[in-house]
Structure 1
Amino acid sequence: MKKIILAFCCTLLIVSGGYSQDKLNKSKSELNEKKDSNTGAGQQKTTSSSSSSSGDEGIGFLFLGLIGKAVAFTAGIAVIGHYGIENHLHFEQTEYPYYLPEHGNYFNAKVHDNGNINNFRFDLKDKFLYNNGNLFGNHLEAKLRPFQYLYMKADYYQLFEFQENTSDNLSLFYFNLGYDRIRLRRFNLGWTIGASYIANDVNKFGFSFGANAEYFSKNNVSFLAGAKWSFINDKPVHAYEIEGRFHRKNYFISVGFEHLDIASPNYNFATIGGGIYL
């Protein structure tokens, strides 16, 4: 735990430098810029040849159909997995990490008696985001896990920026459906898909997708990394995080680092917070 706190202090020194004012206002202004309507306005002239035979077209469509099915099957295996041969996909969900010794979010019910384990879970965490005295924020995350297969996740970022005579703020939301592609007793890896939304003076939605992973060590310490990518009005709205967690029963404390790309400005924060599993 001392090493995690030391890493947090070093991160705090790094992110405190290189600050420029009025970043939140710049992000909102760029997200509100109108798209260039002239792009692709020129007419495209196409010429077609009538020399191809209908027989060749039929063979071509059949070949493309077979290729499409093969690609779809391969993509499905990569994204969802094969429940017939991958035993870890049937692992069940723990009440909270380390409820079973040396286990994180999942366990093998064939090995451990799950008679007293509730597979429904609600994970809640909150982190304070610090850049310097003029720029800071908060990140609240709620994750509903009705069973081991899918979960629903919501992230709420509230950023604040103070200048000499004025202040500004920005509210960023992510709403995602999540799936852990790999569910091992000490490691999980998955993806999310959904939407992003920026409130305040922007009030726009965007498509969102992401990836995340968490590793659980033997001494009640886990390490998490995650990313969410999105675009609003053709501008990037990305969020990245890494953190270390120290678990104690059904709650944890965390320290880490977050990076946000909101239009052209980017934001680096040292984070400290905690969470609970209900």
Structure 2
Amino acid sequence: MRIKPQFIAVLVFLCSVQLFSQNKLDSSKKDLNSSSASSSGSGSTSNSSSKESSEVDDEELGFFAKVFFDVTFGVFKYGLIGDYKNEDHLHSSLTPYPYYNFESGNYRNVEDSIADYRLRFDVVAKFVYNDNNLFGSHLKGKVRVFQYFSIQTNYHQLFEFNKLNRTTDQLALFYFNVAYDRIRFEKFNLGWTMGASYVGNEVRKGGFSYGLLTEYFMSNHISFAAAIKWSQVNSQPVNAFELESRYHKKRGFFSIGYERLKIGTPSYNFVTLGTGIYF
């Protein structure tokens, strides 16, 4: 039986429609909802291992435990927290807003006679654009409870339009983190974040999140900010990177930048336009 070329063409068309009707947001959702493959290798334990462990000298075990504790404590204290006795920049005061005195960024020297600000709110709203079929918004809020730690949240809302079946798909991504600025100079700050991520809509799963953030302030009311967050949801990557320049005007600013999201297998690249306010 001879198959007609028209029939083959119809099959190819239907297969292509089925293939391309699944957009990137659909792929991300399926990746995050797929059950993670667990390869549990069962190792056999022998009686000889228990005999060997019993032969370990208590003094050697105590020595290695002390070394491990000292190294871990040193990395945590000096690497993540800092030495408040010898690093003067760690005592820098939080500013009411960047360039309040035409030169300082988020922090100022302790010699400044202006009263210390222990509480500050930073709110940012950005429009993210890939093309006419993929765009969204990014809202950020940061509460600087006092000059050392802050609490911040990120809310990404993505929309994707499918031309083939004329449907619009959505995906919501959240980050909830505690942030700590490890370096606090007048023109430059660098810190880390730690918390949780959550993907909404049909996924409704969360995971552990950690990252880095920094901002450099120039002398013409322009700053450059960058942040990166790593996370995993159902053993799939949920990462976010952003880089932007900001023009500051009193308690507000305008920004233009770039964002990249990786949610499951797909990656998303966006141009961003935004505005923010400090109060």
Q: Return the letter of the residue paired with 2:137.
A: N
Larger Rg: 2
Pair 1:61 & 2:77 matched: no
Show structure 2 runs of 5+ residues with no match.
1-19
Q: Is the 8 A contact 2:93 2:117 kept in 1?
A: no
Cα distance in structure 2, aligned partners of 1:171 and 1:54: 53
Which residue in 1 is equivalent to 2:113? 113
The Cα RMSD (Å) is 1.7
Cα distance in structure 1, aligned partners of 2:53 and 2:159: 65
Note closer, same or farther for the CA distance 1:141–1:56 as it changes in structure 2 (3 Å cut). Answer: same
Which residue in 1 is equivalent to 2:267? 266
Q: Give a deviation string over 1:9-42, Cα, whole Å, max 9, x none.
A: xxxxxxxxxx9960001100110001224x11x4
Q: How does 1:44-83 map to 2 (within 5 A)?
A: 44-47=43-46, 48-49=48-49, 52=52, 56-76=56-76, 77-83=78-84
Higher RCO by CA contacts (8 Å cutoff, separation 6 or greater): 1
**Identical amino acids, percent of aligned pairs:** 48
Q: Return the letter of the residue paired with 1:161.
A: E
Q: How does 1:7-46 map to 2 (within 5 A)?
A: 22-37=23-38, 39-40=39-40, 42-46=41-45
Local SS of the residue matching 2:151:
strand
Count of residues paired in the alignment: 256
Displacement of 1:62 in angstroms is 1.3
Local SS of the residue matching 1:88:
helix
Displacement of 1:56 in angstroms is 4.2
What is the TM-score normalised by the length of structure 1?
0.88
Which residue in 2 is equivalent to 1:130? 129
Cα distance in structure 2, aligned partners of 1:263 and 1:49: 40
Q: How does 1:194-233 map to 2 (within 5 A)?
A: 194-233=195-234
Which residue in 2 is equivalent to 1:153? 152
Which residue in 1 is equivalent to 2:190? 189
Local SS of the residue matching 1:35:
coil
Displacement of 1:69 in angstroms is 2.2
Note closer, same or farther for the CA distance 1:60–1:108 as it changes in structure 2 (3 Å cut). Answer: same
Cα distance in structure 2, aligned partners of 1:53 and 1:29: 46
